[in-house]
Amino acid sequence: MASRRDFLTLSAATVLGELIALPGGTGRCAEPVENEPLQKRLVADPHRPRCHLMPPANWMNDPNGPVFWNGQYHMFYQYNPNGAFPESMHWGHAVSPDMVHWKHLPTALAPTPGGPDKDGCWSGCAVVAGRVPTIVYTGVFPQVQCLARSDDGMMSWRKFVGNPVIAVPPQGMETMGFRDPCVWHEADEWFLGLGSGIKGQGGMVLLYRSTDLIHWDYLHLLCRGRKEELLPGKDPVSTGEMWECPDFFPLAGKHTLLVSTQGAVIYSVGSYVNHYFRPEVQGKADLGGCYYAARSMVDEKRRRILWGWIKEGRSDAAQRAAGWAGVMSLPRVLTLGPDGTLGMAPAPEIEALRGKHLRFENLPIAPGSSPLLKGVRGDSLEIHAEIEPGASETVGLKVRTAPGGEEETLVTYSRISGRLLVERERSSLSRDVDRGSQGGPFALAPGETLKLHIFLDASVIEIFANDRACLTSRIYPSRPDSLGLGAFARGGKARLKALDVWEMRPISPDRLTT
């Protein structure tokens, strides 16, 4: 076993020193943004979410090591303190009593000059070994696996002096990547799944075993992709030759593997026997193109909760200019559907943000005319609608609609094509933002109503359909009056059985400090 002396302390002084030297002087995560022009811009930015976890400024991507420990939720995430672009990855850190309201803590991990993570502390996980919180993450370059521990309740982290704990891929294996450890405890041993893949073959998860989290033996492939599933693409992740961010866990008597590849989070539900995972049912955890690198945790009530990185839908230059990029998704409760697919619903804890409420009942939806619902305006709304599709071919809601319809975003279910879509063509008058439709297969059973649970938060839209499909997207309306909400139908009449809408309260008064 390693002793305390084997771990280097990432002291507050180091963190502060590194951050003070940064251009922009944004200060530590735990403190307000100190650069006044940037702070003003962030507060005034109509596209910056107010109800989602994100760093006070700068870039974030993957959720890392979400964990419930000592009565609190800890969330780490890939973070660049130098600006709104993906470089020099640190681990940002926030803590919450309820998965909804967050307080920023000092950066947990920063690259150590000359160390195995000198070029970045990439994604990984957090586990509590005995009583010791431990982070297992990827150091770059080359990609190696490293360890850090905390003795003070996760306030600071000491890197293991013997890092890396896994230095090279298994002998004879020419991998296209070797990263993003996911660790779990099973029958008194630790297991680690690592994202990897082989050129021309497909993505895979390498399986390791350890008794102390330090010495790891390679066992075999936990699971591998199939050649036939590869897509044309410019890099191994877009083709599917490389799987990023594996997450592996038991769920309702089966096992679930998540991997991020080909621009999406792919889930497989299957059986786990003799340390081999055999997928039986597969799908996408999200039908939009903006949700990635998802990681799960077990919450206080023993539910399996999923978090994901919500990517931006605008140019790198626009992200840098805004001074922030990337948002953490709202927490999703995972369940197993009767057909073996993954069920997903927003965690009820989010209801804590509900403010003013309006309810509409039993409204006809005629094709061709779709008046806006009276009295509803907002860019921070929770919407719960139940719609009878009736004779319509396509039915849905329109959100962020300008009074004259100059801008609007449609959330649609098409009975004809069996798809759930977010139609963004007219979501913004700006030419600089993504406006393509996003979505995927979704079908209602005969007689089933369409239940849309939508969270609008500035440029983020998260859609849950009938608690079994999710679609996360980004919209950047340019008009300040693009705030209306309505229902619409095409090809036949439908009915809005009921619609509840709540204003959502911001998770912090100024969104910058807590």
Residue 295: both structure tokens together:
């990681």
Query: Binding of ligand FRU at residue 126 (CB under 6 A)?
Result: no
Count of residues touching ligand FRU (by CB under 6 A): 13
179 binds ligand FRU per the rule CB under 6 A: yes
Nearest CB to ligand FRU, comparing residues 62 and 408: 62
Shortest Å distance, C-beta 293 to ligand FRU: 4
* 89/422 with CB nearer ligand FRU: 89
**The one among 62, 408, 434, 457 contacting ligand FRU by CB under 6 A:** 62
Determine if residue 429 is left, alpha or beta; phi over 0 gives left, psi from -120 to 50 gives alpha, anything else beta: alpha
Is residue 244 within the footprint of ligand FRU (CB under 6 A)? yes
CA distances from 328 to 261, 298, 422 (A): 18, 17, 20
Q: Quote the longest CA-to-CA distance of the chain.
A: 72
156 contributes a contact to ligand FRU by CB under 6 A: no
CA distance 187 to 135: 20
**Residue (329 or 412) nearer to ligand FRU, CB:** 329
DSSP state of 444: P
CA distance 131 to 141: 31
* Min dist. Cβ of residue 292 to ligand FRU (A): 6
Is residue 61 near ligand FRU by the rule CB under 6 A? yes
Query: CA-CA distance, 510 to 55, in Å (whole number)?
Result: 13
Q: Is 80 in the site for ligand FRU (CB under 6 A)?
A: no
Q: Does 110 bind ligand FRU (CB under 6 A)?
A: no
Q: Does 474 bind ligand FRU (CB under 6 A)?
A: no
Shortest Å distance, C-beta 294 to ligand FRU: 10
Residue 206 sits in the site that holds ligand FRU (CB under 6 A) = no
Helix (H) or strand (E) holding 202: strand 202-210
Token pair for 27? 């200060």
Least separation in angstroms between residue 206's CB and ligand FRU is 14
> Smallest gap, in angstroms, from Cβ of residue 156 to ligand FRU?
22
> Which residue, among 203, 192, 205, has the nearest Cα to 166 in the 3D structure?
192
Residue 318 is classified by DSSP as: H
Distance of CA 304 to the CA centre of its chain: 14
319 vs 414, beta carbon nearer ligand FRU? 319
Under rule CB under 6 A, residue 196 binds ligand FRU: no
In the complex with ligand FRU, the residue whose CB is nearer, 306 or 465, is: 306
> Least distance to ligand FRU from the beta carbon of 481, Å?
36
For ligand FRU, the binding residues in 356-385 under the rule CB under 6 A are: none
The reply on whether position 216 binds ligand FRU by CB under 6 A is: no
Q: Is residue 472 a contact residue for ligand FRU (CB under 6 A)?
A: no
- Does 450 bind ligand FRU (CB under 6 A)? Our answer is no
Which residue in 26, 39, 58, 123 binds ligand FRU (CB under 6 A)? 123
Say which residues have a Cβ less than 8 Å from residue 394's Cβ, sequence separation at least 6.
412, 413, 414, 415, 416, 489, 490, 491
Vertex 15 angle, CA 9 and 21, to 5°? 145
CB of 169 to ligand FRU, least distance (A): 15
State in angstroms the smallest separation of the CB of 368 from ligand FRU: 43
Site string for ligand FRU, 259-298 (x = CB under 6 A): ---------------------------------xx-----
How big is the chain, counted in residues? 514
CA-angle at 42, arms to 40 and 44, nearest 5°: 70
Nearer to ligand FRU, 94 or 125 (CB): 125
Q: Hey, which residues are catalytic here?
A: 62
Distances (CA, A) of 310 to 53, 74, 265, 464: 11, 18, 12, 15
The number of C-alpha atoms within 13 Å of 328 and in the hemisphere containing its C-beta is: 29
Q: What is the spatial distance between Cα 193 and Cα 184, in angstroms, rounded to a whole number?
A: 9
245 binds ligand FRU, rule: CB under 6 A: yes
122 lies in the binding site for ligand FRU (CB under 6 A):
yes
In the complex, least distance from residue 205 CB atom to ligand FRU, rounded to whole angstroms: 13
- Report helix, strand or coil for 461: strand
Output DSSP code: residue 314. Answer: B
Q: Does residue 488 bind ligand FRU (CB under 6 A)?
A: no
- Please state the φ and ψ torsions of residue 145, each to the nearest 5 degrees: -105, 135
- What is residue 166's DSSP assignment? B
- When the beta carbons of 138 and 459 are compared against ligand FRU, the nearer one is 138
Q: Find the DSSP H helices in 185-313.
A: 236-239
Nearer to ligand FRU by Cβ, of 179 and 314: the residue is 179
Q: What separation, in Å, do the N-terminal and C-terminal C-alpha atoms of the chain show?
A: 38
Q: Which residues bind ligand FRU (CB under 6 A)?
A: 61-62, 78, 89, 122-123, 138, 179-180, 244-245, 292-293
